[in-house]
Structure 1
């Protein structure tokens, strides 16, 4: 599992990993339509080997690498995961597979030892990545929403654990409220990042990367994502802040505590459509 498409290409093709990292740091595009020959897995793996990548990258890069593998007599699957650090520790990850159904069946016994769900998302290479990007885009939105609701409740005098108890038997329930609640003390699990000052978990810089991939795909496909765009701006801010970039993405709850409600727009104030 590698952090960016550039790193995955470096492992597959043997291209310069340091150069790939520098390119990403410099803001170079994260996807690519070319594979540079080298001494990577594509060149040293035996024919018939299944190459399975559990990183979260863009679907186009996954498709390019899969095509390069097939040209060399290899088989390839994209198999990004969901469940986070807690899911990995408990062996309850979800794997999202893209590629041949036969190849997905062949690796299922291995994946079963790590994940409770192994879902074949489509025969098209990159299908697993597409599903993962959609999942993480929704996750970012629900986490920001959960953080806002929990923060408002705290300001209204509600105990976080009691509010979480209400949400989790009501229509506002989500994974971000019942399993990974961002408010300290909302859930009793001492291993949750929110109960450890947001140490560990899924870092803001990684959520920003995943959400950026999803929003880039939405722009290419001309799909409107206004709420996700806003979440993207929030996580870009957290990823750029040295105090937050390494913290778990639930730390958006903490960050909200340093923010003030924006003033109404001039037009809204004039028309008196919204009261601040």
Structure 2
């Protein structure tokens, strides 16, 4: 495939980049922090000193970045990928929302660069194991070029068609459903704890019943039941995704009342200093209000 580029080596990006390097691809990488330089060089990647340096040598570049503003800067800024001499396809695994993705696709296409928006779901564990769900859209020939790389980082690959932003639309819907179900689960489980129900037994029952969801099956057993609270996805990033979805709902005239309640709760948690924490810690607000605790340390 020639040289592949990767920009953004945070909690998700570092694992995806590592898998691509270990698959034998000629990989160049960059991040504003050099925390992952040694591990990625050990995996076979070459570290370069700027976004532009990636775009000057890599025909296909993958990005994994935290916010729409940063994606905009990295892709289309004065020193961004758009200025590179080699790049022809950009695969954006970030969550920017469909409106931003459509605008960037048009901007890049004017410079003969095609955008595949390919946001992912599955968290840090999925990124490390290569089992992410990928929701991709973009021109068919660009997607065909991206697909072999997407199969390295993901297990469930969905192509949603040539219209830019459709992958982003699906991702924001997914994360908004996750947020609403998670917060509802927090409420119910804290209530059960206050009433004297055993935490694990509650999860065992819910997970073979109609109340099960990602939070009860994965997030809460792995991150909360034993009071571990590992860093996997921040409260502020989940809030960002829900906000993007609600904005699309307003643009298309679709009411999202329950989703907006979830957004408000996440916004409150950010105001309480939890923005940089994994969103699992939001359960502690409910525990404080209920004067109880769900789960116990190992």
1:91 aligned partner: 130
2:235 aligned partner: 204
* 1:1-276 superposed matches below 5 A: 1-14=64-77, 38-46=78-86, 49-181=88-220, 187=221, 189=222, 192=223, 195-242=226-273, 244-259=274-289
CA distances 1:2-44 after superposition (whole Å, capped 9, x unpaired): 1211111111123xxxxxxxxxxxxxxxxxxxxxxx2321121
Residue 220 (structure 1) shift: 1.6
Mapped to 2, the partners of 1:86 and 1:231 lie a distance apart of 24
Consecutive unaligned residues of structure 2, counting only runs of 5 or more, are 1-63, 292-298
Change (3 A) 1:45 1:96: farther
CA distances 1:125-165 after superposition (whole Å, capped 9, x unpaired): 01111001111110110001111121111112111111100
Mapped to 2, the partners of 1:74 and 1:228 lie a distance apart of 35
CA distances 1:170-221 after superposition (whole Å, capped 9, x unpaired): 111111111112xxxxx3x4xx366454230111111111111111111222
- Is residue 11–residue 40 contact of structure 1 (8 Å, CA) maintained in 2? yes
Change (3 A) 1:80 1:194: farther
Consecutive unaligned residues of structure 1, counting only runs of 5 or more, are 15-37, 182-186, 262-276
- Is residue 78–residue 125 contact of structure 1 (8 Å, CA) maintained in 2? yes
CA distances 1:208-261 after superposition (whole Å, capped 9, x unpaired): 11111111111222211111111110000112222x222211222211112269
The DSSP-based 3-state class of the residue aligned with 1:72 is: coil
The DSSP-based 3-state class of the residue aligned with 2:86 is: coil
The DSSP-based 3-state class of the residue aligned with 1:122 is: coil
- Is residue 76–residue 107 contact of structure 2 (8 Å, CA) maintained in 1? no
- Is residue 96–residue 121 contact of structure 1 (8 Å, CA) maintained in 2? yes
Number of equivalent positions: 228
The DSSP-based 3-state class of the residue aligned with 2:244 is: helix
The DSSP-based 3-state class of the residue aligned with 1:241 is: helix
Residue 122 (structure 1) shift: 2.6
The DSSP-based 3-state class of the residue aligned with 2:277 is: coil
Mapped to 1, the partners of 2:248 and 2:192 lie a distance apart of 35
The DSSP-based 3-state class of the residue aligned with 1:169 is: coil
